[in-house]
């Protein structure tokens, strides 16, 4: 039965959707192996509360419209037209210079242990000096962190190295 109080749009939070439509967890898990992290109770309590479907589509490397409309269909909603998010993976920005990387952190072991790296990354971004670059290494695009950084006027660029390694560069202006 559809819960009309929780709509499924690009800005909907994953946690709210899964609370209203628990059956959609299986649908998400089928769509991308990256979503298997939702099985981790720590990440489920933290990331799912702040991550919206636009961010989750980036993490899962799934077209946003495909993700939204698959979930909407399973929940009994009509399809909706969805505009894709901006590309953060285009040409390397001029400001990205290896010599300017003030700090690099590989968060993959932390994430694999079921912990949430957001607090540490935000601390690193707060401590970053103007013009400095922080390199974050994760197994997927850290979409919620990217949005927070942009809200703080921090430039962001992503480089997908392979299926298990994404480097995200944050530059404080």
21 and 60 within one domain: yes
Question: What whole-number distance in Å separates Cα of residue 31 and Cα of residue 66?
Answer: 10
110 and 49 within one domain: no
109 and 60 within one domain: no
Domain tally, the chain: 2
| Mean of pLDDT values over 119-142 | 93
CATH number for the domain spanning 164: value is 3.30.110.40
Give the residue with greater pLDDT, 160 vs 172.
172
* b/e sequence 72-104, b meaning 16+ C-beta within 10 Å: beebebeeeebeeeeebeeeeeeeeeeeeebee
State which of 7-11, 60-64, 166-170 shows the largest mean pLDDT. Answer: 166-170
Exposed / middle / buried, residue 154 (Cβ in 10 Å: 0-12, 13-18, 19+): middle
Question: What whole-number distance in Å separates Cα of residue 145 and Cα of residue 147?
Answer: 5
103 and 57 within one domain: no
152 and 112 within one domain: yes
71 and 104 within one domain: no
pTM to 2 decimals? 0.62
CB count, 10 Å around CB of 35?
A: 20
Q: DSSP letters of 141-156? A: --HHHHHHHHHTTEEE
56-60, 65-69, 81-85: least confident range: 81-85
* 50, 129, 88, 152: CA torsion to nearest 10: 40
115 and 57 within one domain: no
Find the domain containing 68 and state its range. 14-75
Condensed to tens digits (0 to 9), the pLDDT of residues 47-66 reads 777 888 988 888 888 888 99
Q: DSSP letters of 31-56? A: H-GGGGGGGSHHHHHHHHHH-BHHHH
CA neighbor of 139 nearest in space, from 32, 28, 34, 14: 34
165 and 103 within one domain: yes
Res 44 pLDDT > 80: no
Q: Is residue 45 part of a domain?
A: yes
167 and 113 within one domain: yes
CB count, 10 Å around CB of 171?
A: 22
CA neighbor of 97 nearest in space, from 146, 172, 173, 169: 169
Q: Is residue 130 part of a domain?
A: yes
Given this model, what pLDDT does residue 111 score? 87
68 and 123 within one domain: no
Given this model, what pLDDT does residue 109 score? 94
CB count, 10 Å around CB of 131?
A: 11
Given this model, what pLDDT does residue 87 score? 44
């Amino acid at each position: 039965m559809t819960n009309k109080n929780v709509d499924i749009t690009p800005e909907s939070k994953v946690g709210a959707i899964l609370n209203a439509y628990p059956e959609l967890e299986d649908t998400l898990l089928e769509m991308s192996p990256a979503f298997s992290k939702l099985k981790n109770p720590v990440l489920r309590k933290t990331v799912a509360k702040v991550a919206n479907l636009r961010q989750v589509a980036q993490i899962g490397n799934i077209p946003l419209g495909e993700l939204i409309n698959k979930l909407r269909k399973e929940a009994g909603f009509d399809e909706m037209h969805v505009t894709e998010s901006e590309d953060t993976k285009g040409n390397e920005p001029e400001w990205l210079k290896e010599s300017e990387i003030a700090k690099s952190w590989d968060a993959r072991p932390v994430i694999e242990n079921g912990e949430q790296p957001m607090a540490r990354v935000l601390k690193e971004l707060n401590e970053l000096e103007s013009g400095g670059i922080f390199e974050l290494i994760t197994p997927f695009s850290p979409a919620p962190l990217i949005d927070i950084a942009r809200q703080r006027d921090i430039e962001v660029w992503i480089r997908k190295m392979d299926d298990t390694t994404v480097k995200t560069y944050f530059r404080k202006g």
